[in-house]
Amino acid sequence: MYGEAVALGAGTVLNALATGVGSAFALDAETTAWVELDDSGVVEGAIAGAPDGDTRLIRRCVERVVDRFGDGHGGHVRTESDVPMAAGLKSSSAAANATVLATLSALDVPVGDGADAVLDREAACRIGVAAARDAGVTVTGAFDDASASMLGGVTVTDNTADDLLAREPVDWDALVWTPAERALSADADVARCERVAPMADLVADLALDGRYAEAMTVNGLAFSAALGFPTDPAVEAMPHAEGVSLSGTGPSVVAVGDRDELERVRDHWTQREGDTWLTTTRTDGARVIE
């Protein structure tokens, strides 16, 4: 009983830590999960390149799928990822979505919009969100990030009700800067984020109006200030990018817009320590590998 699936990392339009409403867009950065189920009743996990990595999330994803669709199975889950962990680029959502889809595949449960499908990808995504809450790796459940990773494009969600408010395909080039430091979402200063709630409401209005790029720039200024991250990378990008923001609870910064213009931003950002890379948005989302 074997399954394999891929899900995507994402960047932030609106951080949900202020009001519970959030927005994110899928990036071309993939996490793959391999799941092998057996009759042991115990789930073990491993993360490629991180022998001491916290596997609670992916083990809990397997357990939740097995509880609903399996028969007391245990087994083994392993992930391998292009998405740096705890850098604001939604590694947890990508790992959860890939693991949920791989486990469903191992149990031969069809997912999607087809006539034989038992659940659609949005429902599969909610299983990963529940597992993230169980594992304590999230503040709001992060349905914003999880839905972007699972469905592709940009999504706007209300994480207090796991409600999908909007979803649109977006076709942008994106520039990502990831410094070496790491910031676990679960350790974020939520009270500081709540202080910028009026700005978060404005960002939500802009996003629901389809003005995603401007929305993310306002988000970046507000949440960089709230969480104590520098705004210099955003100010360097603003003359060239359509939008730029601190992603999630940081420390990564993502700019979107025209490739030629983003290459000019790259000239600034590569002078900083850390990794800077050009990528694109993705509209296809997560998938099972048959």
Ligand X SMILES: O=C(O)C1=C[C@@H](OP(=O)(O)O)[C@@H](O)[C@H](O)C1
Among positions 62-81, residues that touch ligand ADP (CB under 6 A) are 79, 81
Interface with ligand ADP, residue 95, by CB under 6 A: yes
List the single partner that 43 binds among ligand ADP, ligand X, none, CB under 5 to 8 Å by kind. none
Nearest to 245 by CA among 214, 208, 278, 205: 214
Interface with ligand ADP, residue 287, by CB under 6 A: no
Interface with ligand X, residue 16, by CB under 6 A: yes
By CB under 6 A, name the one of 85, 166, 197, 202 that touches ligand ADP. Answer: 85
Q: Is 85 annotated as a binding residue?
A: yes
By CB under 6 A, name the one of 12, 105, 279, 281 that touches ligand X. Answer: 12
DSSP code per residue over 176-216: EEE-S----GGGS-HHHHHHTHHHHHHHHHHHHTT-HHHHH
Q: Is 91 annotated as a binding residue?
A: yes
Among positions 132-151, residues that touch ligand X (CB under 6 A) are 138-142, 144-145
Interface with ligand ADP, residue 86, by CB under 6 A: yes
Position closest to ligand X via CB: 248
Query: What minimum distance in Å lies between the beta carbon of 13 and ligand ADP?
Result: 15
**With respect to ligand ADP, which residue has the nearer C-beta, 240 or 245?**
245
Q: Which residue is associated with the tokens 């993360």?
A: 47
243-246 and 275-280 beta bridge pairing:
unpaired
DSSP code per residue over 119-144: B-HHHHHHHHHHHHHHHT--SS--HH
Distant-in-sequence, close-in-space partners of 186: CB < 8 Å, separation ≥ 6: 136, 137, 138, 139
Alpha carbon distance 282, 27 (integer Å): 5
Query: Which residues are documented as binding site for ATP?
Result: 84-94
